[in-house]
Amino acid sequence: MPVYEFKCTKCGELFEVMGSYAEREKAHACPRCGSAEVKQAISLFSAAPPRSY
């Protein structure tokens, strides 16, 4: 399952959201300060190396 990483633009908190593509498109609030002003950071899923075995 893909993991999306978000960064809060207010407090700088980094948090992960696990789920489908639809989950990524949803608005997420910062778990630390509750702000909805978050930006998506690097996707850990697409950054992971492909399994060759």
**Footprint of Zn ion (CB under 5 A):** 8, 10-11, 13, 30, 32-33, 35
What's the min distance (Å) between Cβ of 27 and Zn ion? 14
Nearest residue to 27 via CA among 17, 12, 41: 17
Q: How far is residue 10's CA from residue 46's CA, in Å, rounded to a whole number?
A: 26
Q: Could you give phi then psi for residue 40, rounded to 5 degrees?
A: -80, 135
What's the min distance (Å) between Cβ of 5 and Zn ion? 14
Query: How many residues does the structure list for the chain?
Result: 53
Cβ proximity to Zn ion, 11 vs 41, nearer residue: 11
Cβ proximity to Zn ion, 39 vs 51, nearer residue: 39
